[in-house]
């Protein structure tokens, strides 16, 4: 039971990471400090995509699954196992990746615009 729980927690952390990757930049519109963790998340995700690293959570999930007597997920990882071919067709992997990248860039552009507007308002005299 404990090993299966470890595998399930690793799977949930994977999912949370991907959700945060897609929408975390929009959270920074409200809570500016969250931009920095989101930047780190985006850089790490980009590095995994470019270099082809295996996420450590994949190793943890497979370790838990193996010790629980369950089948492991492929070394290609969480996305290939849980999302590709399930959430979107396999031939649209690049489209899904580009959609997430676009969401990140739009969220950062919006944050830059909000920051610029706040700075320009701060420089104006108050209305009477």
For residues 25-51, b (16+ Cβ closer than 10 Å) or e, as one string? bbbbeeeeebbeebeebbeebeeeeee
Range of the domain at 102: 2-122
Residue-wise pLDDT tens digits, 104-114: 999 999 999 99
Total domain count for the chain?
1
For residue 127, tell me if it sits in a domain. no
Please tell me the predicted confidence (pLDDT) of residue 70.
93
Q: What is the pLDDT of residues 4-60, one digit of tens each?
A: 999 999 999 999 999 999 999 999 999 999 999 999 999 999 998 889 888 899 999
Q: Is residue 90 part of a domain?
A: yes
Please report whether residue 14 resides in a domain: yes
> What is the rounded end-to-end Cα distance, in angstroms, of the chain?
67
């Amino acid at each position: 039971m404990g090993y299966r729980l470890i595998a399930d927690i690793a799977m949930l952390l994977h999912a949370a990471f991907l959700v945060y990757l897609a929408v975390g930049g929009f959270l920074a519109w409200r809570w500016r400090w969250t931009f920095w963790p989101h930047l780190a998340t985006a850089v790490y995700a980009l590095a995994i995509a470019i270099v082809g690293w295996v996420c450590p959570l994949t190793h943890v999930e497979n370790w838990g699954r193996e010790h629980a007597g369950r089948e492991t997920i492929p070394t290609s990882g969480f996305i290939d196992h849980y999302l590709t071919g399930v959430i979107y067709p396999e031939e649209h992997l690049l489209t899904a990746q580009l959609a997430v990248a676009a969401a990140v860039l739009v969220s950062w552009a919006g944050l830059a615009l909000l920051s610029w507007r706040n700075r320009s308002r701060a420089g104006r005299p108050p209305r009477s």
